[in-house]
Amino acid sequence: MASRQLGIAHDDSDDASMVAWLEKQGEFRCLPAIAESVSVTEPQRITQCAERRLIVFFREHSDIVVEGGHLTEKNPRRIVYASSDNDGLIFEWEKTAQCDRKIYTSGGGQGGRIYSCDPDVPNPATEKLRRFVLSLCRWIRRTHPWVSQDRYPIFVGSSLGARVQSGKATLVYPSGKRIQLTPNQNYKANA
């Protein structure tokens, strides 16, 4: 079972740009990766999702994804939609954590990532999402002008990157250490 993960760091403006790009690519729906209430079973348009940790999927897979959610043992009112039953039909979008007006945290499980996991047995539906996630990752690598110097780089959106470069925002790891950025060599301004 293959998985892919790409670190990202966005502010609200960068998130809005990614949502606009997603909307142009197809009809997507989303749910919280973990819903705190069993009443959360109606997928929303991606433009309506405010949660920090989302699962995103093609609209035509909505029924399958909802059925793939599991109640947790510790809290029977909590549903986990980011489950192995949904591998290949969803990708997770964990948004960058904003600690206060000027400090954003990324990396180390604090958010700012795209993650998907292929199923053990692929099928046309899962292959469609796999190809889409690869396309999304290419788009991020081309359109994010800044990148961290990590072994697993974090691609920083243009709005947050400009704010970090001007000193109006700070991007840190969960430990509080500042994330050092360099220009992204693959950046294409008009991509």
Total domains present in the chain: 1
Report the alpha-carbon distance of residue 9 to residue 95 in Å, rounded.
Answer: 8
Evaluate whether residue 91 is within a structural domain. Answer: yes
Q: Has residue 30 been placed in a domain? A: yes
The answer to whether position 48 is within a domain reads yes
Q: For each of the chain's 191 residues, which pLDDT tens digit applies? A: 588 899 999 999 999 999 999 999 999 999 888 877 666 678 999 888 888 889 999 999 998 888 888 877 777 667 787 777 888 999 999 999 888 889 998 887 667 899 998 888 888 988 999 999 999 999 999 999 999 988 889 999 999 999 999 999 999 988 889 999 999 999 987 76
Establish if 144 belongs to a structural domain.
yes
**Domain presence at residue 189:** no
- Whether the CB-CB separation of 19 and 112 falls below 8 Å is answered with no
The domain containing residue 107 runs over which residues? Answer: 3-183
- 191 falls within a domain: no
Cα–Cα distance for residue pair 158/145, rounded to 1 Å? 6
Interacting residues of 64 by C-beta distance below 8 A, sequence separation 6+: 86, 89
